[in-house]
Amino acid sequence: MTQKGFTLWFTGLSGSGKSTLADLVYDELKHRRGLKVEKLDGDVVRTNLSKGLGFSKEDRDINIRRIGFVCNLLTRNDVIAIASAISPYRAVRDENRALIGPDRFVEVYCEVPLEVAIERDVKGLYQKALNGEIKGFTGVDDPYEPPLNPEVHINSGRETVEESFHKIIAYLEEHGFIEPLGESGYSKEEEEAISAHLEALGYL
Amino acid sequence: MGLFRRLRRSKARRVCLIGLDCTPHSLLERMMGEGVMPHMAELARNGSLRRMNSVYPWVSSVAWASFMTGQNPARHGIFGFIDRDPATLKTFIPTATHMKSRPLWQILGDAGKRVVVVNVPVTYPPQPVNGVLISCFLSPSLEKAVYPPSLLPKLQELGYRIDPDPWLARESREKAWPDLWDALEKRTKTLLYLLDHEPWDFFMGVIMETDRLHHFWFELMEQNDSVWAPKFFELYRYVDEFIGQVRERLGEADTLMLMSDHGICSIKKEVFYNRWLHDAGYLRYSRPPEEIKGPDLEAMHPDSVAYSLDPGRIFLNLKGRERDGSVEPADYERVREEIAAAAEVLTDPDSGEKLVRRAYRREELYRGPYLEQAADLILAPVDGYDPKGALWKPHFTHKDQAMVGMHTYDDAFLYIADHSLPTDDLSILDAMPTVLQLLDVPLPADLDGCGLIR
């Protein structure tokens, strides 16, 4: 199967598990399945592509449009683009969906109860926002608009990371974005090689 | 360095478990007594070394899957190195994707413990863990065996190998010997590197070369072959030295465990149960038999009553379950009893020795939600008569010149430092809950094994 480009867009509150899942899916697609993949992490993008942008609604929209622009370039050249950014506003996410093409845009909504995200507070940002040290923080004093119809809905408060990861991979396989592995996780050639190994050991 | 390590690591409790695949308790006792394994002997003086039972059937995939889940196969879903979909009769290789239960390292990860897991069978494809996981010889390549993939360049630099090449041993022992050593040295070097450089609460590495050594050299050791017996023990001296190096790296709060997954004995004959089923009128072929390769069940004629997969698993060709099944469900018990009774009186055509110790109905061995996937009968062989699964062979029994060792059930071993283990009836299912006990992690409710720390 020839590789088809698509954009996997992770959206959700800070602490909802977007980056963790994006990293796992990236490793799976790039290293285990040997596909061409690029990753655009919101925090990383803000240090280069969107350096200097702040967190006003206007700046946030520009940031998300830029990520969408790069995802589109990759996708149309049949590279898989994995974006993970809070991307709180529905309208801009939907702009990106329209730009990239609805049949090549897979939105992964990482839902997490706010109290769980605050409790996790991996980057210590919620505490600062609650103390008033950061203004306009999504979920605290800035809105998050959840997707109305995401392709994949993760609930990171209730699912294990493995369950969420498998849910995403299953969606991509079932909808023809990536080729399913055989039942044992092998391509045909790999299964033949492993069978030969087991045969030499007398197990077949 | 040793003192520094002990000081540095003296706080949290950790467990280091080294697996010696296929190493029998009886052989360890002999080698400790004969001075081949002085480190092991020293460890035995400061801990408990016990004989341990494996599982049915006693092959590494089933045994290690039972270890890592603390459950019997009807719960974890791994019944052999090969399995079949009865609806299509297509065979497949069970991997971690077929595992129905969470392994030890996932449970430890949930409890916040960092793990390093290397070369445990049935860990391919590598699932994400809190730490490092390098899969077993079911991995098609090193690139696909490693989690996280960022560790790959270091493993390549260390020359780490998934497995020795068993085809070399099929060609000649002389060719296979340097390859076996090469894989062993790279594995031990890598394990020591990971012990030194990765943080861990639970460290586990399995040495697979002991199993390969036994399959292709065990009989020569038992016969005291003038060339190979000394070489056999030379390899174990190296393994013992490695165990000593591991021990030297552990601190006061660390517990060392060692275990195998089954034992080994010399093969008198390989026994091809499909050939017996064929000769007894239970199995027919839809193609000329000489064209059938390996366990190709699709070449079975729809009129067949039963077929076998390695090692000694017998399935009825059951209507409603198997594609083109022939045995009516109402006849299931009668046919199964008939085949079990016939199997239990089979003898070696040359020596007259019994081949089957007992034919077990699956419900006698297993309990759990996946019982229906198990073979209808599991033949426990008499030691020395190795059950094989090829659909067709020109002979019922055969003495192979390359493959000279077969697994045994009741001669695996378990060692634990600084603790006292019960003396009898240890099962490989007990090792996983024991690790959880040592790390103060609550035991899941659905385990079949029990923690051995009193």
pLDDT in the model for residue B181: 98
Residue A87 is among the residues annotated as catalytic for this protein: yes
Same domain, B70 and B216: yes
Same domain, B204 and B131: yes
Whether the pLDDT of residue B6 is over 60: the answer is no
Per-chain mean pLDDT for chain A? 92
Same domain, B103 and B195: yes
**E strand intervals along chain A:** 7-11, 37-41, 80-84, 105-111, 152-155
Whether the pLDDT of residue B434 is over 90: the answer is yes
Whether the pLDDT of residue B250 is over 90: the answer is yes
Using pLDDT thresholds of 50, 70 and 90, give the confidence band for residue B11. Answer: low
> Mapping DSSP to helix (H, G, I), strand (E, B) and coil, where does residue B443 land?
coil
Of B128, B167, B311, the CB nearest to A161: B128
Q: B349 near B123, Cβ under 8 Å?
A: no
Same domain, B183 and B289: no
Query: Has residue B124 been placed in a domain?
Result: yes
First to last CA, chain B: 34
Same domain, B208 and B223: yes
Whether the pLDDT of residue B9 is over 50: the answer is no
Q: Is B24 left (phi over 0), alpha (psi -120 to 50) or beta?
A: beta
Using pLDDT thresholds of 50, 70 and 90, give the confidence band for residue A162. Answer: confident
> Mapping DSSP to helix (H, G, I), strand (E, B) and coil, where does residue A47 land?
coil
Query: Has residue B226 been placed in a domain?
Result: yes
CA distance B294 to A195: 10
Contacts of B97 in chain A (CB under 8 A): 181, 183-185
Verify cis geometry, omega within 30 degrees of 0, for the bond prior to B433. no
> Mapping DSSP to helix (H, G, I), strand (E, B) and coil, where does residue B147 land?
strand
Same domain, B231 and B175: yes
Per-chain mean pLDDT for chain B? 95
**Phi, psi dihedrals of residue A102, rounded to the nearest 5°:** -60, -25
Domain boundary, last residue among B350, B376, B399: B399
**DSSP H or E segment with residue B417:** strand B412-417
Is some CB atom of chain B closer than 8 A to the CB atom of A165?
yes
**DSSP H or E segment with residue A26:** helix A18-27
**Residues A178-198 pLDDT 10s:** 988 777 778 778 899 999 999
Query: Has residue B219 been placed in a domain?
Result: yes
A184/A115: higher pLDDT: A115
Find the largest Cα–Cα distance for chain B. 70
Query: Has residue B451 been placed in a domain?
Result: no
Query: Has residue B78 been placed in a domain?
Result: yes
Q: What DSSP line would sit under B338-390, residue for residue?
A: HHHHHHHT-B-TTT--BSEEEEEEHHHH--STTGGGS-SEEEEEPTTEEEE--
Query: Has residue B454 been placed in a domain?
Result: no
Give the CATH number of the domain where residue B283 resides: 3.30.1360
User: By residue range, what is the domain housing residue B119?
Assistant: 2-265+408-438
Same domain, B211 and B305: no
Q: What is the mean pLDDT of residues B119-134?
A: 94
Same domain, B285 and B150: no
Using pLDDT thresholds of 50, 70 and 90, give the confidence band for residue B356. Answer: very high
**What percentage of chain B reaches a pLDDT higher than 70?**
98
Question: Considering only CA atoms, which of A48, A42, A47 is closest in space to residue A16?
Answer: A42
Q: Which of residues 45-84 of B touch A (CB under 8 A)?
A: 59, 80-82
Whether the pLDDT of residue A30 is over 80: the answer is yes
Same domain, B104 and B199: yes
pLDDT in the model for residue A122: 84
Contacts of A186 in chain B (CB under 8 A): 93, 95, 140
Same domain, B276 and B335: yes
pLDDT in the model for residue B7: 46
**Residues B435-447 pLDDT 10s:** 999 999 999 999 9
pLDDT in the model for residue B291: 92
How many beta-carbon pairs below 8 A join chains A and B?
84
Query: Has residue B278 been placed in a domain?
Result: yes
Is some CB atom of chain B closer than 8 A to the CB atom of A159?
no
**Residues B48-83 pLDDT 10s:** 999 999 999 999 999 999 999 999 999 999 999 999
Is some CB atom of chain A closer than 8 A to the CB atom of B130?
no
Q: B108 near B115, Cβ under 8 Å?
A: yes
Query: Has residue B352 been placed in a domain?
Result: yes
Domains and CATH numbers, chain A: 7-200 (3.40.50.300)
Instruction: Please state the domain count of chain B.
Output: 2
Apex B64 CA angle, B61 and B65, nearest 5:
75
Same domain, B91 and B142: yes
Same domain, B260 and B200: yes
pLDDT in the model for residue B66: 98
Contacts of B111 in chain A (CB under 8 A): none
**Residues A79-89 pLDDT 10s:** 999 999 999 99
Using pLDDT thresholds of 50, 70 and 90, give the confidence band for residue B8. Answer: very low
pLDDT in the model for residue A28: 86
Closest Cα in chain A to B167: A200
Place of tokens 């007398």: A202
Contacts of B294 in chain A (CB under 8 A): 195, 199, 204
